[in-house]
Chains A and B, each alone.
Chain A
């Protein structure tokens, strides 16, 4: 009797497994028939927007289920409106991604009014680009190295306002690198390039990739870089190595290390781990796709994957800095 009952239980169990196995094996991928919405906190045509559109073109084929991927612009407050929206108002289902950069982490670190998110609590898909910031000077200046440049007094460096990396790096250069800098703010990098042509400016800090065409045509050349290196600038001295004191080194180190978060993609907090796994794998595969790299090359972008774990280590590094360093950092980096 007992033996018969045992056999029946085993038979029923086996039948259940066999009947449900096809359904389990053939379960539709999570993202099938769905749409991923990439929210960009800046207007169309800007840096984050351009990269997001390249990502939206290629991401789908690397995610099982091939979801549609679209870009939505949500402009305002340097991307904080979009950040707050994705943090607090969207569902944690992996269908909304925020395209942003380290600025959100810095805003939270400096306790900027209006921050309604915790940078670490987003679901991190990873970063697709690092920002290699260099100091460019006019090519017709007779100074070949940064040390030689120190003999010029003053050195007019262009900026685009206290909230832009150009001015921030220029002010840090003045106070911590021993260069006699006078910062002149313009409307944007377009006016800065024109001012270089007019010999009104001597140089400016900015992203190497964006200004590579101007280097190639002989208008400017790089003489100093921050921590992130790229092909063509590896030989340049690193700014934090030339700092005149430890505070300067720490501040430049913070900006240098966080540059790996050039273009990060974040999901709503609480997105399930398996969904985040799909996204991270998708991003990693997408960045190895030769078609994506060819499209990126056409518009002078260097795209390279930095996994979520590495990004989060950098975020921890930033938030674990001593309060006195964060205070000095906040005097130079404004939002």
Chain B
């Protein structure tokens, strides 16, 4: 085992594998930064190039690209309020307000460092889990997966605002999100729901135009109205604390970063739950780590912990999602499905052989994730303070560029004019939500989880009837879901009791 661990590292540091790793990481850097251009389509485009490569060269090339997309995708979310990747949406919540306060460098430093910690923990999870992953994955059948989705949905209570009104608004927007996920062809009976007789909506509302619309358009409107730079709240010339402070923040809140990394790695194992959901569950975890009511109110307004949590989770899910792919040949998502194609192309059959015959290759993948992220994070940190200065540029110069990024990102979904229309419609919806104080994260969570919940519930019921409700795994997960749903209230009651005690003592 130790030999293979060291052998994997030696494999990466040969000339050709390292060169391909650097090329892959460079491609991944740009794929992450540019909105809409995702890791999965890029992997599909890179696959033909690996025909003539050996496995030792091909995996650093492919994984080197894919494992850094989330890292650099975070930067676009933080600096411009435009989601660089579908897995980087949660960072806009607190990252972009920090940028507006002139702390863009700090937020980026925090995101980059937490991404590196997340990548290392995800890679470690991959290393440790492979011998034991089989019983873990096999224990989660459709009923248990449905309950995991429910646990994801219960995070809505943590992502909503404070108080009863906050929760009501959160539930309403979460419900609207769930409703929007129903658009498209019904997966069981095949009839079309809310497609307005268009072919475009057959496959439902596309994720990227919706998230770009909900998050980026309101911020651009705000910039136009304010007529100042993105970091407009800070006097010109004083950009505030930089990347180094962000790195220190990662270690100040180290256990939060580790917890969120573990959440990302765990959720990454389950198909469909990895990227889209783990960032929000981690954000909810970060929000729940607030020790006072004032701190809790600060989330959504620029708390660095709101950057650390999702920043770590969206990288650790990489290692997590490789676990079923390598151990079973069962991909945890579209990117892993394409990577699996790469395995077969190179004559490698995922399965028990990966922890016996090909253990060194497996460890080389672990090291690829770590080294690619170290290289990209190092490169970004060298220049991030300068890149953050982009946020000082006047609105009338930066808005056209941001709008261009939004349109390119949205169009990449289906290369259809409908992508622009959807982005603009949800841009209007997002603007109204910001204006009237309706929280956006519950909407996105409901939207992403809606069709997963529908499919798993249907599968569970058609296979087991009503008896799935009595499965031990389902009962345990239900208790966990209830606890997560009630946790914010229990905390709020504790805050109020503490305040009441302080008042009495005075």
Please give the residue numbers on chain A whose beta carbons come within 8 Å of chain B beta carbons, in ascending order: 43-45, 49-50, 53, 57, 73-78, 80-81, 84, 113-114, 156, 161-163, 182-187, 190-191, 193-195, 197-198, 200, 213-214, 217, 295, 298-300, 334-335
- Which residues from chain A contact B175 at a C-beta distance below 8 Å? none
**Closest 5 pairs (CB-CB, A-B):** A44-B44, A77-B199, A162-B190, A334-B190, A77-B202
A213 B141 Cβ-Cβ under 8 A: no
- Which residues from chain A contact B347 at a C-beta distance below 8 Å? 298
Main secondary structure of the interface of B (DSSP, over half): helix
**A195 vs B330: C-alpha distance when bound (angstroms):** 11
- Chain B's closest residue to A50 (CB) is B341
**A198 vs B397: C-alpha distance when bound (angstroms):** 57
Judge if B458 is at the interface, Cβ distance under 8 Å.
yes
Stretch touching chain A among B100-108, B150-158, B331-339, B478-486: B331-339
- Which residues from chain B contact A193 at a C-beta distance below 8 Å? 329-330
- Chain A's closest residue to B416 (CB) is A76
CB distance from B392 to the nearest CB of A (A): 38
Stretch touching chain A among B79-87, B112-120, B181-189, B304-312: B181-189
**A214 vs B463: C-alpha distance when bound (angstroms):** 23
A76 B44 Cβ-Cβ under 8 A: no
**A184 vs B462: C-alpha distance when bound (angstroms):** 6
Q: Which of A43, A161, A299 contacts B187 (CB 8 A)?
A: A161
**A224 vs B462: C-alpha distance when bound (angstroms):** 25
Interface members, chain B 329-385 (any A CB < 8 Å):
329-331, 334, 337-338, 341, 344-347, 349, 351
Judge if B14 is at the interface, Cβ distance under 8 Å.
no
Q: Which of A78, A185, A334 contacts B462 (CB 8 A)?
A: A185
Interface membership of chain B positions 129-166, coded 1 if the CB is closer than 8 angstroms to chain A and 0 otherwise: 00000000110011000000000000000000000000
**A299 vs B338: C-alpha distance when bound (angstroms):** 11
B330 A194 Cβ-Cβ under 8 A: yes
- Which residues from chain B contact A74 at a C-beta distance below 8 Å? 414-416
Interface residues on B, range: 35 or more
Knowing that A50-B341, A77-B203 touch, tell me 17 more A-B residue pairs with CB under 8 angstroms: A45-B338, A45-B341, A57-B48, A73-B415, A74-B416, A76-B200, A113-B197, A114-B202, A161-B188, A162-B190, A187-B272, A193-B329, A197-B328, A213-B344, A217-B349, A298-B345, A299-B344
- Chain A's closest residue to B458 (CB) is A185
A198 B341 Cβ-Cβ under 8 A: no
**A197 vs B140: C-alpha distance when bound (angstroms):** 11
- Which residues from chain A contact B331 at a C-beta distance below 8 Å? 190
B199 A187 Cβ-Cβ under 8 A: no
**A113 vs B459: C-alpha distance when bound (angstroms):** 28
Judge if B271 is at the interface, Cβ distance under 8 Å.
yes
A114 B344 Cβ-Cβ under 8 A: no
Q: Which of A45, A57, A80 contacts B337 (CB 8 A)?
A: A45
Judge if B437 is at the interface, Cβ distance under 8 Å.
no
Judge if B6 is at the interface, Cβ distance under 8 Å.
no
**A197 vs B135: C-alpha distance when bound (angstroms):** 11
Judge if B313 is at the interface, Cβ distance under 8 Å.
no
Q: Enumerate 5 A-B pairs (CB-CB under 8 Å) in ascending A order.
A: A45-B44, A75-B416, A162-B189, A185-B459, A191-B459
- Which residues from chain B contact A334 at a C-beta distance below 8 Å? 190
Interface membership of chain B positions 279-290, coded 1 if the CB is closer than 8 angstroms to chain A and 0 otherwise: 000000000000
- Chain B's closest residue to A114 (CB) is B199
**A257 vs B416: C-alpha distance when bound (angstroms):** 34
- Which residues from chain B contact A162 at a C-beta distance below 8 Å? 188-190
**A53 vs B44: C-alpha distance when bound (angstroms):** 10
Judge if B45 is at the interface, Cβ distance under 8 Å.
yes
**A49 vs B199: C-alpha distance when bound (angstroms):** 20
Judge if B251 is at the interface, Cβ distance under 8 Å.
no
- Chain A's closest residue to B45 (CB) is A44
**A147 vs B269: C-alpha distance when bound (angstroms):** 38
CB distance from A335 to the nearest CB of B (A): 7
